[in-house]
Amino acid sequence: MPQYEILGNDLQYLKVILGDGESIYADAGHILAKGASVNLQTKLKGGFFGGLKRLITGGTFFVTELYGPGEVYLSTIFPGKVIQIPLEGGTILAEAHSFLAAENTINYDSQLAKLSVGWLGGEGLFLAKFNGVGNLFMHSYGEAIVKDLAPGETMQIEASHLLAFQSGMNYNIETVGGLRSILFAHEGIFFVRIQGPGRVWLHSLTAQQLASVLAPYLPKVEQG
């Protein structure tokens, strides 16, 4: 079985030690380095439609498969944490762009989100879907928050902060606050309401928040 170690603080990365014949697959663009003995292959995992499903969830059409023996280093593309999720036959639904890597025993698919959640939440109409038995690795924007909801317990989550949740949990979109909240508090009006039992993973930061902070410091592009 591959061995894993999550390293770093605010910019974490994943170290994987693969034995002879062991393998993992990763989203393209996350490989930092690998041992010379590790074989790397770009594959259309799941065929054309499998690649298309990954693409519509925000992933890559092709995945990179890595075969041992040797070491592999995988990085996030954003300040944040690497999250290890051991799956034992269960299913995880996740937002786009959060997949890092998985063992080959994990299936990567997509699922149509409830229309209102995808459309009004601004996170796309499809969710990435992972199931099987093995280790799944996601990456968060900023700190990763894990919340276990008891049966009937509910939580309201600003849509862009929702990273993943266990399949079978009831979720929908609802309005929180009003026009004043949007204009003056800079808070989104649409929240995802999700109900337990089950586990939820959150981002403490969003790409939009980081972009808005950096925007004043970026050079202006003059229109010719």
Q: Phi and psi for 209 in degrees, rounded to 5?
A: -65, -45
* Mean of pLDDT over the chain: 83
Domains, the chain, in order of start with CATH, read 3-211 (3.60.160.10)
Over range 193-211, report the average pLDDT: 88
Contact 100/163 with Cβ under 8 angstroms?
Answer: no
Residue 24 in this model has a pLDDT that exceeds 90: yes
More confident residue, 178 or 118: 178
For residue 73, what is the DSSP state?
E
Give me the long-range contacts of 1-9 (CB less than 8 A, separation at least 24): 2/68, 2/103, 2/135, 4/84, 4/135, 4/137, 6/81, 6/82, 6/84
Instruction: Name 180's Cβ contacts closer than 8 Å, sequence gap at least 6.
Output: none
Residue 135 CA, distance from chain mean position: 14
What gap in Å lies between CA 75 and CA 31, rounded to an integer? 6
What are the tens digits of pLDDT across the range 113-167? 764 444 444 445 578 889 999 999 999 999 999 999 999 999 999 888 899 999 9
| Mean pLDDT value of segment 12-18 | 97
Check if the beta carbon of residue 44 is closer than 8 Å to that of residue 61.
yes
Q: Which pLDDT does position 12 carry in this prediction?
A: 94
